[in-house]
Chains A and B, each alone.
Chain A
Amino acid sequence: MGSTAEPTGPPPAWFGRAWSWFRGLPVAGQVLVWAAAWPVLAALYLLSAARPSAGRVGGAAALLLLVTPVWAGAITSLGGESEPGAAPEVVAEPEPEPEAPSPDTTPSSVGGDLEVHYLDVGQGDATLLLHDEVAVLVDAGRWQSSGLVPMLRARGVEALDLVVITHPHADHIGQFDQVMDAFPVDEVWWSGSVTTSQTFERAVAALERSDAAYEEPRVGDQATLGPLDIEVVNPPAGVGLSDLHDAGVSLRVTYGEVRLLFTGDNEAATERRMTSDSAAMIDADILQLGHHGSSTSTTASFLSAVDPTLAIYSAGANNSYGHPAPEVVDRVLASDIELYGTDVHGTILVTTDGAGWSVATEASGQVEAAPSNPPSNSSPETSTAGGACTGDQVDINAADRDQLQRIDQIGPARLEDIITQGVACVG
């Protein structure tokens, strides 16, 4: 039921769905539907004969019924365009077509373009998947802002078929309440994890006010929304919910032959589980890097298993955490994966017809692996970990085993655990 207000005048979502359904019927089925429409035409004709005052209405309705498929076909073939001014300004070079589908692949039956807006919401996440037939939001930005609803409206969103919150940290669930109050929402997916912040409480209250369906999807669940096929790749059923990142909802969305993977803030241990238990479901063309490009995520083995052509991360410019981590940027670029980030490019728009895609960005720039800078401090009210080491402090980026063991709670056993985990480089 999600719909968009496109200036080019695409048909309403219900009509697009009906038209897609009609086009998908075999010829015999289409003839049958037309045959069934004739009694309606006859009734309209009789109405116009019996009540001359209604004649104009009946005649117009009959004519509309006759010409509607022709009109709809023409409109549908136009596809949707983003609202002027809302679309990113700088168009990057078109991405080369992803690897050609194997000869036995069923040809794509999708119509029109899918737009994937990786919205620049600062140090948080919010991604809009927009098609004539469906609108899906993955995560809802930071709690300190009210910018998400205007961003969605500027892109023509009037309703959302699905809102997914990967996990309830305030940089992902932040404006969920505002979104729920601003738009009709059909369905909401949460992980089921509970936290105690007031932001989370506002989100729960918004769910209570809404009549949206509510689900806590688990690995193996699949859904079809219009032309989108959605597979749940995390969390598995029965997983503990107290680790909010580990229990976060991860999805693979398939449009035609293009697959997009969203893993929220999943970290290395979760990536390992997905790689071992759901390997067939994480292969994707376009990967949103986990946890804003943090060093906790996008391990070499996970990146290899996903094997994307394009990677995108969402992070705030000059954020306090040093995201994206230089080693992650290096790993991605060394794998010949094209990389975009909202801290550099602003909002990033990927447009796909289900076979290839193009990328447009709000700002020009290039993500480069920077030297390991200390995280900057974004607020006078905050203090951050990191920074230049002084005195007897241990530089954990350069320390050897002996130096690391000077840190409380890192003894020989803990150090071995860290090394075994395989996500830290220890000299």
Chain B
Amino acid sequence: MSAEQHGEDRAVIDRIVDGHTAVLLVGGDEIELLLPVDALPEDATDGTWVVLDTSTDPPTVTGIDQQLTQRRFDELSARLETIRRKRRGGRFGR
């Protein structure tokens, strides 16, 4: 998730606040970047990984990294499902 080439990085959209401000976490250090929602691709939402052009100020979102988004969602869903399965039968009997 670190810079793949000069002037380009990956960021994840952590959340969209009040419908107008997107909170992005940039790179391996998850540096906070706030952008107006209209600076995002149309399909971008919470958890979407985007390609960031860091040569501009502020950085510009140039597209969605669909593959990275899907891979991380699938991996983390599977890991959480394993936790659910292993620890079933808790307080609420599920």
Contacts and interface: CB of A to CB of B under 8 A. Distances in A.
A342 interface: no
Nearest to A408: B38
A212 to B, nearest CB: 8
Contacts, number: 117
Main secondary structure of the interface of B (DSSP, over half): mixed
A244 B47 CA distance: 10
Nearest to B24: A382
Contacts of B20: 385-386
B37 interface: yes
A99 interface: no
A78 to B, nearest CB: 31
A381 B35 CA distance: 10
Contact of B21 (A197, A379, A385): A385
Interface residues of B, number: 41
A204 B83 contact: yes
B83 A208 contact: yes
A199 B29 CA distance: 10
Task: For chain A, give the interface size range.
Answer: 35 or more
B32 A144 contact: yes
Contacts of A384: 21, 34, 36
Contacts of A144: 30, 32
Contact of B77 (A194, A208, A382): A194
A381 B54 CA distance: 11
Interface stretch (A215-223, A277-285, A364-372): A215-223
B90 A213 contact: yes
A244 B69 CA distance: 16
Nearest to A204: B79
Nearest to A243: B46
Contact of A143 (B30, B79, B92): B30
Nearest to A198: B30
A215 B91 contact: yes
Interface string B75-94: 01101101110010011101
B79 A208 contact: yes
Nearest to B42: A409
A295 B20 CA distance: 12
A187 interface: yes
Contacts of B34: 320, 379, 382-385
A176 to B, nearest CB: 13
Contacts of A223: 91-92
Residue among B19, B21, B31 with the highest chain A CB neighbour number at 10 A: B21
27 contacts: A171-B15, A192-B80, A195-B12, A195-B47, A196-B47, A196-B49, A196-B69, A196-B72, A196-B76, A197-B14, A197-B47, A198-B25, A201-B76, A208-B83, A213-B90, A214-B87, A215-B91, A215-B92, A216-B84, A221-B92, A244-B46, A296-B19, A320-B34, A381-B58, A383-B36, A384-B21, A408-B38
Given A199-B25, A382-B33, A383-B35, 4 more contacts: A195-B47, A197-B14, A214-B83, A294-B18
